[in-house]
């Protein structure tokens, strides 16, 4: 993509409405623009990051055996009356009437809709287990939308729902998602700590939140420092017993401030980390909370009908964009982890119009695109300082700087955004290195 054509409305000034660094950087880097309180437009740079996060989330959900569906954003209130949540869910639910005066709502979550899909289509224990997920927009009329996309009113969520015959199998589905979450957040370049949690309006008996540490986090968190060093599980056999992995991760102390046990924490001494955190995922096991009132059942092997055990599993996909920036930035701007970067490489032409620079850039641009690298080519006729500042601001993992002096020597400068380390390489060596990343 040529930057001269790319829609990238960067801002030099720090927007005053933004209180936290990720919000400021998302506005300055031209990723999002607010449409109304807590409702955002995603511009091309932001949309590319969102798509990359979606892809990682999707691959890990698929890997754990979940199947992707798409449910409506607008739901009929009837199902919520059936589950008993229509009155119980507070003013966060956006209630709408259609032209026939029927009660509708913009879904804040989808337990009712997915339970309805299940009961209409699945009849036998032989069809279990099932885990259905979607990556879709939710609306919650938050009292105080703030921190940009971190606490929006309309936001993108991955929500999965598991259906099983009995408690043990349902717990296995919960464990599968637990492990998939550890892997997902690690691939996104984040350290996420699972913490036992309350289940709130979703309900249920077992629940964990996944918290990313960042100074601007909404909740205070305390945990054993070993949790921050643990690598996510690799080569997972999702059919095997996953309980030992779960026990390893939940056996170490971790709590948010409401749950903090000062007795327990003191014993950890220097191993205790106290920090602030951002909730990026939340999983719930709630058994028959929805399948009982909504009669979601299967015929068991004994010929008797039994209501299924369920869980639901959320990831705040749009919130993750902010959380990743909170965890990966410096004074110059964003530092994207490779897995979510909107482009792999930023190619900077320091002297647009100079035949040698233009030709070198074209060679590198074409070669990298041929190797399916995403390249943002700064071909604007602008000052070097502006180009460097913009490229650092938008945080692409690699920068290739092409200037007249270097080109005359047959080299370009390659810079790694995260470390600032620069090296001079021949065109061929630079292309070869960026092809291997
Ligand atoms: P919170 O405690 O932050 O209000 P929640 O517990 O109400 O979140 P869940 O129902 O657990 O949220 O939703 C699953 C995930 O969706 C959360 O872990 C979070 O990452 C994300 N999420 C929830 N509310 C918002 C929001 N208003 N804006 C952006 N993401 C959100
Ligand atoms: Mg939650």
Q: With a 6 A CB cut-off, is 159 part of the ligand 1 pocket? A: no
Q: With a 6 A CB cut-off, is 48 part of the ligand 1 pocket? A: no
Q: Which residues of 339-361 are buried (b: 16+ CB within 10 A; e: fewer)?
A: ebbbbbbbbbbbbeebeebbebb
45-54 average pLDDT score: 98
User: What is the pLDDT, as a whole number, of residue 437?
Assistant: 80
> Rounded to whole angstroms, how far apart are CA atoms 431 and 398?
12
In a domain, 8, yes or no: no
Same structural domain, 259 and 380: no
The strand ranges marked E within 15-126 are: 32-36, 39-42, 67-68, 74-76, 94-97, 103-106
In a domain, 58, yes or no: yes
What is the distance in angstroms between the CA of the first residue and the CA of the last residue of the chain?
19
CATH number of the domain encompassing residue 426? 3.40.50.800
pLDDT in tens, 345-402: 999 999 999 999 999 999 999 999 999 999 999 999 999 999 999 999 999 999 999 9
Q: With a 6 A CB cut-off, is 24 part of the ligand 1 pocket? A: no
CATH number of the domain encompassing residue 234? 3.30.930.10
User: What is the pLDDT, as a whole number, of residue 325?
Assistant: 97
**Cα of 138 to ligand 1 centre, how many Å?**
10
25-51 average pLDDT score: 98
Which protein residues have their CB within 5 A of the ion that is ligand 2?
Answer: 282
Q: Which atom of ligand 1 is nearest to the CA of 150?
A: 29
User: What is the pLDDT, as a whole number, of residue 264?
Assistant: 87
In a domain, 3, yes or no: no
Phi, psi of 130 (to 5 degrees): -135, 140
In a domain, 14, yes or no: no
**Cα of 295 to ligand 2 centre, how many Å?**
26
Same structural domain, 330 and 415: no
pLDDT at 326 over 70: yes
pLDDT tier for residue 123 given thresholds of 50, 70 and 90: very high
Number of domains in the chain: 2
Same structural domain, 196 and 78: yes
pLDDT tier for residue 202 given thresholds of 50, 70 and 90: low
User: What is the pLDDT, as a whole number, of residue 270?
Assistant: 94
Give me the chain's average pLDDT, please.
96
Q: Among residues of the chain, what percentage have pLDDT more than 90?
A: 92
In a domain, 9, yes or no: no
Same structural domain, 224 and 89: yes
> Rounded to whole angstroms, how far apart are CA atoms 199 and 167?
18
Between the alpha carbon of residue 90 and those of residues 85, 94, 188, 324, 389, the distances in Å are 9, 9, 33, 30, 45
What is the residue with the minimal CA distance to atom 5 of ligand 1?
282
> Rounded to whole angstroms, how far apart are CA atoms 312 and 163?
9
pLDDT in tens, 223-277: 999 999 999 999 999 999 999 999 999 999 999 888 889 888 889 999 999 999 9
Same structural domain, 121 and 35: yes
61-65 average pLDDT score: 98
Instruction: Give the domain-ending residue among 308, 334, 360.
Output: 334
What is the residue with the minimal CA distance to atom 13 of ligand 1?
314
In a domain, 5, yes or no: no
Q: Which atom of ligand 1 is nearest to the CA of 202?
A: 10
Q: List helix spans (H) across 205-296.
A: 226-229, 243-250, 262-268
**Cα of 315 to ligand 2 centre, how many Å?**
9
> Rounded to whole angstroms, how far apart are CA atoms 376 and 290?
48
Instruction: Give the domain-ending residue among 334, 359, 388.
Output: 334
pLDDT at 201 over 70: no
Same structural domain, 26 and 74: yes
Question: Can you give the residue range of the structural domain that contains 169?
Answer: 21-334
């Amino acid at each position: 993509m040529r930057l001269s054509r790319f829609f990238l409305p960067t801002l030099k000034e720090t927007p005053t409405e933004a209180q936290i660094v990720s919000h400021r950087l998302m506005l300055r880097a031209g990723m999002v623009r607010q449409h109304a309180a807590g409702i955002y437009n995603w511009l091309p740079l932001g949309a590319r990051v969102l798509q990359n996060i979606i892809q990682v989330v999707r691959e890990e959900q698929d890997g754990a055996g979940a199947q992707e569906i798409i449910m409506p954003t607008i739901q009929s209130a009837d199902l919520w009356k059936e589950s008993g949540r229509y009155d119980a869910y507070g003013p966060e639910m956006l209630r709408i009437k259609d032209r026939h005066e029927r009660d509708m709502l913009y879904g804040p979550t989808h337990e009712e809709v997915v339970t309805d899909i299940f009961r209409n289509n699945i009849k036998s224990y032989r069809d279990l287990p099932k885990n259905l997920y979607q990556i879709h927009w939710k609306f919650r009329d938050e009292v105080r939308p703030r921190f940009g996309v971190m606490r929006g009113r309309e936001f993108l969520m991955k929500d999965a729902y598991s259906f099983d015959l009995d408690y043990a199998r349902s717990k296995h589905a919960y464990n599968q998602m637990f492990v998939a979450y550890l892997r997902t957040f690690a691939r996104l370049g984040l350290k996420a700590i699972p913490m036992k949690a309350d289940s709130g309006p979703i309900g249920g008996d077992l629940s964990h939140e996944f918290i990313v540490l960042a100074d601007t986090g909404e909740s205070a968190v305390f945990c054993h420092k070993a949790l921050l060093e643990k690598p996510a599980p690799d080569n997972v056999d999702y059919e095997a017993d996953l309980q030992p992995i779960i026990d390893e991760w939940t056996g170490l102390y971790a709590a948010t401030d409401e749950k903090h046990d000062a007795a327990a924490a003191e014993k950890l001494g220097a191993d205790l980390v106290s920090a602030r955190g951002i909730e990026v995922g939340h999983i719930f096991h709630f058994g028959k909370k929805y399948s009982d009132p909504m009669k979601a059942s299967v015929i068991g092997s004994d010929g008797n009908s039994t209501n299924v055990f369920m869980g639901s599993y959320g990831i705040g996909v749009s919130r993750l964009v902010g959380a990743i920036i909170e965890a990966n930035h410096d004074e110059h701007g964003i530092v994207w982890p490779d897995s979510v970067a909107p482009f792999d490489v930023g190619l900077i032409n320091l002297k647009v119009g100079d035949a040698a620079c233009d030709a070198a850039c074209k060679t590198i641009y074409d070669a990298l695109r041929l190797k399916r690298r995403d390249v943002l080519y700064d071909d604007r006729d602008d000052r070097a300082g502006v180009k460097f500042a913009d490229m650092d601001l938008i945080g692409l993992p690699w920068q290739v700087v092409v200037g007249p002096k270097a080109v005359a020597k047959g080299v370009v400068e390659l810079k790694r955004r995260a470390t600032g380390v620069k090296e001079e390489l021949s065109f061929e060596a630079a292309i070869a290195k960026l092809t291997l990343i």
